Amino acid sequence: MRYPLLLLLALCWAGTVQALDLTTQSLVASGYATSKVTSAPFDRKLILAAKDDAAAFVTSASVLRGAHLQAALERLRETHPKLHASDLELAQAILVQ
């Protein structure tokens, strides 16, 4: 009986490690996007105007996409073509501004 319990514990631990790894990847990606947004020369008014839309976008699991957020995302992608961040990561970065 001890071996099935040990196997179950090992599988649970492996799942936890994998979940932590995915969380870490998400944090690193969000941190990268935030650093690019904060260090980039861009129109602060555009970013500030997009904050409410970014909050709605993040809390709605990327469903609600307002005009201000869309304009800010397009501007960020135009000015930083090498920035490979998702819309969600950029919206999160906008929120911390």
**pLDDT classification of 36: cutoffs 50, 70, 90:** low
Q: Is 36 within 8 Å of 85 (Cβ atoms)? A: yes
pLDDT at 88: 93
Ramachandran bin of 47, using left for φ above 0, alpha for ψ from -120 to 50, beta for the remaining angles: alpha
Predicted confidence (pLDDT) at residue 27 exceeds the cutoff of 90: no
Could you report the per-residue pLDDT of 42-95, keeping only the tens digit for each? Answer: 578 888 899 999 999 999 999 999 999 999 999 989 988 888 889 999 999 888
Predicted confidence (pLDDT) at residue 18 exceeds the cutoff of 50: no
Return the HEC string of 35-95: HHHHHCCCCHHHHHHCHHHHHHHHHCCCCCCCHHHHHHHHHHHHHCCCCCCCHHHHHHHHH
CA 44 to chain centre: 20
pLDDT at 10: 54
